[in-house]
Amino acid sequence: MKKKVFQLLVDNTSGVLSRISGLFSRRGYNIESITAGVTADPRITRITIVASGDDEILAQIEKQVAKLEDVRDIRELEPGFSVYRELALIKVQANETRRQDVISIANIFRANIIDVSPEGLIIEMTGSQNKIDAFIDLLHRNGYDILEMARTGIAGLRRGTQDIVWFDIED
């Protein structure tokens, strides 16, 4: 099983997200994560999907998604030519005596502490999925309990200014 990151530019119509997720469920494709947000042009929504499957399935996913009426553009965000980021909010159990240790680990990963309470704190961390996975792994190894976690799934863009997709106002 391979993973691929797809960038979709879609018309910001009502129900567009359910059309895309419906396609994945009815054809039995796997979504690892999906994020959506409006672009600089309010008519257009950018969706980043991480999908998994063998080569044939991944090729089918690209073609089937491209066929959807609302989808204006789909392309792969290849690892070498793209940047990906994911945001994670992690609530760790830590009382006064252990708090400083958690903060040290967070500093190494350039994560921020955004909330502190007597029994725990919330860490905000941005990075590649690998970096976040590594951080979570380190917390576990050092015996910290993760009380709650919210991960956004990745958003990504291609590097450089060569391949930007523009739409005319009339489109």
The site for other proteins, by CB under 8 A, has a size of 6
Nearer to other proteins, 27 or 159 (CB): 27
State the first-to-last Cα distance of the chain, in angstroms, to the nearest integer.
Answer: 37
Chain positions 55 to 74 lying near other proteins, rule: CB under 8 A, are none
> Could you tell me the smallest distance in angstroms from the CB atom of residue 96 to other proteins?
36
Nearer to other proteins, 61 or 122 (CB): 61
Residues 6+ apart with CB under 8 A from 100: none
Residues 6+ apart with CB under 8 A from 123: 88, 89, 90, 91, 92, 102, 106, 111, 112, 113, 114
Nearer to other proteins, 19 or 158 (CB): 19
> Could you tell me the smallest distance in angstroms from the CB atom of residue 22 to other proteins?
6
Contact call for residues 169 and 44 (beta carbons, < 8 A)? no
Helix, strand, coil proportions of the chain in percent (round to 5)?
30, 40, 25
> Could you tell me the smallest distance in angstroms from the CB atom of residue 14 to other proteins?
15
Nearer to other proteins, 19 or 43 (CB): 19
Nearer to other proteins, 28 or 160 (CB): 28
> Could you tell me the smallest distance in angstroms from the CB atom of residue 8 to other proteins?
19
Q: How far apart are CA 93 and CA 116, in angstroms?
A: 10
Chain positions 18 to 47 lying near other proteins, rule: CB under 8 A, are 22, 25-29
141 touches other proteins (CB under 8 A): no
Q: Backbone dihedral region of 143: left (phi > 0), alpha (psi from -120 to 50 degrees) or beta? A: left
> Could you tell me the smallest distance in angstroms from the CB atom of residue 170 to other proteins?
34
Query: Which residues would be at the binding site for other proteins (CB under 8 A)?
Result: 22, 25-29
